């Protein structure tokens, strides 16, 4: 009974951790539509507000590892819950722009610490044959959290100061996670006594042979310094190479930017106006949820290596297909940011506000001629537009706020105001309307790409990271790789417009395809299979193998 309770509570902690992460990523898209009017936000201020979450997350990835290793995973999650409650209250009660920024930074710090601690804690709490399922549950939680945030964006679009409710509702799952973890024991690897309740619970979760072997020979925890990550001791340098390789390839295969074109591709096959916006986000979001569930089911059967390599191959084929197809049927592009500083300027065509979850869509999801019928003053239209915020971030760790640099390069400079009476090319006159078959191929490739990421790189990267390092340095090592993940995200978003201008849309996608092929080779050569092995066995395997 106790073993089952530990299992269920571990699953709850993992799922709620992901849910909170995804919710905080997605909720800003709808909140920003109201905030830019209530606080008269310029494009730059919208950028700052969106970027605040990243700054907090980067800070957390630099210091969070020390907190996780020194004070334990359980305590780190409890602290992150408290910090998140404070951040949510600051946002809910905010009366100034500075208050909003401080609140978002606080929330960013909390969800980053929580994301690292949750994955490590759950991986250490459960048996080897259940670890893949329960750590992947975190990823599923993120996807569901973003879908939930979109739904609440729509519900509160008509409510006066609805953004306060949007931010405040994060308190509920945070409190639930806090209460769940209070009933879970301290981290097993931190205990020396095998007679404690926690260890009894742990051994019951594992099979009897595992339990007997571990009882005969207790795992001796070694102590490491941060610099040991780059030394040959216990083959730590190779582990660091595996961790950094996975997080960097996860970003450089172009996942965040590929999905920036999602709504445009949906539109090109005939889904017009608001349906294009909803399908591009909710439709792809639903695909992500299903694909992540598939990954959960097969993580402990097929194995991490198989899912990573299969996912990478499909991703590479998909982006190469999109790249080649777009040479024949080019997608029109429009890049701009529309500040709603003047609430009376409702006659101008609204462009999407800055994307909190992923990079700003470099294409306008709805051409002016199709969208001009509704004004910025219409909350329903605004809420539906918020759904187009790219779904790219369902991995954690995939937040790409826009920097002022991007705005200066093109978004502000190319902003164009369209009036209600403006005339633009009708859908059937557009150059890509002639290539309907090719457009459908692009759409199917996009869906395949989303599914492949959610089966491979999405959940498996963080599962492998939570397994390959020794317990004594696991928190700091995870945080070190995580900081590179956030930094790579920022680099991808900063270089996106430059790449488009320098080499063009199709060549950029072909470049992402090449990176996908390189990722397959990297995984084949360097990433070991860890399914069904205890964390101690994985550590010993790495220590022996050169």
pLDDT digits (tens, 9 = 90+) for 116-129: 999 999 888 888 88
- The two tokens of residue 297 are 């089911």
- The share of the chain scoring above pLDDT 70, in percent, equals 70
Q: Domain ranges in the chain?
A: 1-188, 226-332+434-545
Rounded Cα distance between 371 and 469, Å, is: 51
pLDDT of residue 243: 94
Residue pLDDT, tens place only, 477-486? 999 999 998 8
Spatial separation of the C-alpha atoms in residues 264 and 270, rounded to whole Å: 10
d(CA 261, CA 253): 15
Element (H, E) at 62: helix 43-71
Positive or negative torsion for Cα 292, 296, 302, 303: positive
8-state DSSP, 259: G
The domain over range 1-188 is classified in CATH as 3.40.50.970 = no
Is 425 buried (19+), middle (13-18) or exposed (0-12) by CB count in 10 A? Answer: middle
Cα distances from 520 to residues 27, 264, 300, 315, in angstroms, run 34, 29, 20, 10
- Pick the more confident residue, 271 or 413: 271
Please give the backbone phi and psi of residue 218, each rounded to the nearest 5 degrees, phi first: -60, 140
Dihedral sign computed on CA atoms, order 124, 224, 546, 520? positive
Domain 226-332+434-545: which CATH class? mainly alpha
Q: What distance in Å separates the CA atoms of residue 515 and residue 508, rounded to the nearest whole number?
A: 11
The 10s digit of each residue's pLDDT in 372-389 is 333 333 333 333 344 434
Average pLDDT of the residues in 174-178? 95
**Residue 260 DSSP symbol:** G
Whether 6 shows a pLDDT value over 50: the answer reads yes
Does 226-332+434-545 match 1-188 at the fold level? yes
Task: Identify the pLDDT of residue 497.
Answer: 67
Residue 7's pLDDT band (boundaries 50, 70, 90)? confident
Confidence of residue 222 (pLDDT cuts 50, 70, 90): confident
pLDDT at 456: 92
Give the highest mean pLDDT range of 60-64, 220-224, 337-341, 402-406. 60-64
DSSP string for 374-434: S-TT-HHHHHHHHTTS-GGGGSTT---PPPHHHIIIIITTT----BTT-----GGGSGGGG
Residue 331 pLDDT: 66
Look at residue 110 and tell me whether its pLDDT is greater than 90: yes
Q: How far apart are the first and last CA of the chain?
A: 42
Q: Report the pLDDT value the prediction gives residue 276, as an integer from 0 to 100.
A: 63
Structure-model confidence comparison of residues 205 and 501, the more confident one:
501
Exposed, middle or buried, 18 (CB in 10 Å: 0-12/13-18/19+)?
A: buried
224: its two tokens: 């490491």
């Amino acid at each position: 009974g106790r073993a089952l309770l530990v299992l269920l509570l571990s699953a709850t902690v993992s799922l709620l951790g992901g849910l909170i992460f995804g919710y905080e990523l997605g909720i800003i898209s709808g909140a920003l539509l109201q905030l830019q009017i209530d606080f008269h936000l310029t494009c730059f201020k919208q950028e700052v507000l969106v970027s605040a979450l990243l700054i907090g997350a980067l800070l957390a990835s630099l210091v969070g590892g020390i907190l996780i290793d020194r004070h334990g995973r359980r305590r780190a999650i409890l602290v992150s819950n408290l910090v998140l409650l404070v951040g949510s209250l600051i946002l809910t009660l905010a009366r100034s722009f500075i208050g909003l920024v401080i609140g978002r930074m606080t929330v960013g710090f909390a969800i980053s610490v929580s994301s690292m601690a949750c994955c490590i804690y759950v991986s250490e709490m459960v048996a080897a044959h259940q670890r893949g399922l329960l750590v992947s549950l975190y990823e599923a939680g993120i996807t569901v959290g973003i879908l939930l945030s979109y739904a609440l964006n729509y519900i509160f679009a008509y409510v006066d100061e609805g953004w306060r409710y949007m931010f405040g509702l994060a308190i509920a799952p945070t409190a639930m996670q806090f209460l769940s973890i209070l009933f879970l024991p301290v981290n097993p690897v931190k205990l020396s006594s095998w007679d404690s309740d926690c260890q009894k619970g742990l051994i019951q979760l594992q099979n009897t042979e595992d339990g007997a072997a571990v009882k005969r020979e207790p795992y001796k925890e070694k102590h490491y310094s941060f610099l040991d990550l780059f030394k040959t001791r216990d083959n730590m340098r190779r582990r660091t190479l595996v961790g950094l390789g996975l997080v960097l390839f996860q970003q450089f295969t172009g996942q965040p930017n590929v999905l920036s074109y999602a709504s445009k591709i949906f539109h090109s096959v005939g889904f017009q106006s608001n349906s294009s916006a909803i399908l591009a986000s909710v439709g792809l979001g639903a695909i992500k949820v299903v694909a992540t569930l598939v990954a959960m089911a097969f993580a402990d059967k097929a194995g991490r290596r198989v899912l990573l390599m299969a996912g990478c191959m499909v991703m590479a084929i998909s982006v190469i297909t999109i790249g080649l197809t777009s040479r024949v049927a080019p997608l029109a592009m429009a890049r701009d940011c529309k500040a709603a500083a003047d609430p009376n300027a409702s006659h101008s065509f609204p462009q999407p506000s800055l994307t909190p979850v992923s990079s700003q869509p470099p294409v306008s999801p709805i051409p002016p001629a199709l969208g001009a019928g509704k004004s910025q003053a219409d909350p329903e239209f605004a809420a539906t537009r918020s759904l187009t915020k790219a779904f790219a971030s369902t991995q954690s760790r995939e937040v790409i706020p826009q920097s002022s640099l991007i705005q200066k390069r093109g978004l502000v400079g190319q902003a164009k105001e369209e009036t209600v009476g403006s005339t633009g090319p009708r859908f059937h006159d557009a150059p890509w309307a002639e290539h309907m078959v090719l457009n459908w191929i692009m759409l199917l490739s996009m869906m395949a790409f989303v599914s492949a990421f959610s089966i491979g790189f999405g959940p498996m990267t963080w599962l492998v990271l939570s397994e390959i390092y020794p317990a004594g340095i696991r928190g700091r090592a995870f945080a070190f790789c995580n900081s590179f993940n956030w930094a790579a995200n920022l680099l991808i978003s900063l270089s996106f417009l430059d790449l488009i201008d320098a080499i063009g849309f199709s060549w950029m996608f072909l470049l992402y395809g090449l990176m996908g092929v390189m990722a397959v080779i990297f995984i084949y050569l360097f990433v070991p299979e860890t399914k069904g092995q205890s964390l101690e066995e994985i550590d010993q395997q790495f220590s022996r193998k050169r």
